Amino acid sequence: MAAVLLALAASASWGVSDFLGGLKTRAGSVLTVLAVSQPVGLLLLGTIVLVRWHSPPHGLPILWAVLAGIGGAVGIGALYQGLAVGSMGIVAPITATSPLIPLTVGLAHGERPGAVRLAGIGVALVGVALAGREPGTGGARRQLSAGAGLAILAAVFFGSSQVALQAAAHDDPYWATLILRFASSVLILVVAARTRPGFGGRSLLPVLVAIGMLDSGATELFAVATTKGLLSVVAVLGALYPVMVALLARLVLHERLTIVQRGGALAAVAGAAAISAG
């Protein structure tokens, strides 16, 4: 029961942080959002590592964690920008298909997925295709939904980051997460320093701090959940964050999707859950 509650809390926290990140990106710049929220999350994770102090890793785990941080930074940037320019109820479910990348890596190393995962792959791909297409008007051809391309990019980088993080977390998942966030924060701050996006005034700061805390808190909740119960169960529950994003978008922004897009979004989430559970 503890693992279930922790995983659900992580999913909800990710959903709220992603919704707020996309919402604030609409009002400003994705670099502005990331340049504040990522370092804030770094402070939270650093505090946790200090409280439970263990010796830091060395060698390849550090390299893998840095690569995971770079992939995560690109992924979260693409996600927030996608949520800002497109329908959140479409973009978020597409990004939930990121487990396809670790699964592909596993196949390359000789793993053979079971029937549930194979079915999940098919369902997820069909869901992405349906959710990511805008209906044509007046006989016009269907076109890619706004933000769908960024969502696919985010899914690719999130999945790649998961592969690297798995390799980094063998020694200590807490240190791996901290190094990941440090690498992503440095990358984002360097880019922000070169482009000078501006920070939108003090009124924006509390929300950006909340985004960083929620995102980092969700990561730690998920990590702890994996130590309390079955990874297959935790992974499925953690993949439900797009439901929270879509719900908030419907309640707050009054988003409306076509029946086909809603079905595609649900299929993408269901497929992602099946891939994780298999």
Q: How do the domains of the chain map onto residue ranges?
A: 2-132+144-277
Residue 70 in this model has a pLDDT that exceeds 90:
yes
Q: Which of 78-82, 166-170, 232-236, 245-249 has the lowest mean pLDDT?
A: 232-236
Residue 143 in this model has a pLDDT that exceeds 60:
no
DSSP character for 136?
P
The residues, any chain, with a CB within 8 Å of residue 218's CB and separated by 6 or more, are 9, 10, 11, 13, 14, 17, 241
Q: Which of 126-135, 159-168, 235-244, 260-269 has the lowest mean pLDDT?
A: 126-135
Do 29 and 77 form a contact (C-beta atoms < 8 A)? no
Q: What are residue 67's DSSP bridge partners?
A: none
The per-residue pLDDT for 200 is 61
Condensed to tens digits (0 to 9), the pLDDT of residues 76-92 reads: 999 999 999 888 888 88
Task: Please work out, in degrees rounded to the nearest 5, the angle formed at the alpha carbon of residue 24 by the alpha carbons of 19 and 25.
Answer: 100
Residue 138 in this model has a pLDDT that exceeds 50:
no
At 189, which amino acid appears?
L
Mean predicted lDDT score pLDDT of the chain: 81
Distance CA 91, CA 67 (A): 24
State mean pLDDT over 83-112. Answer: 80
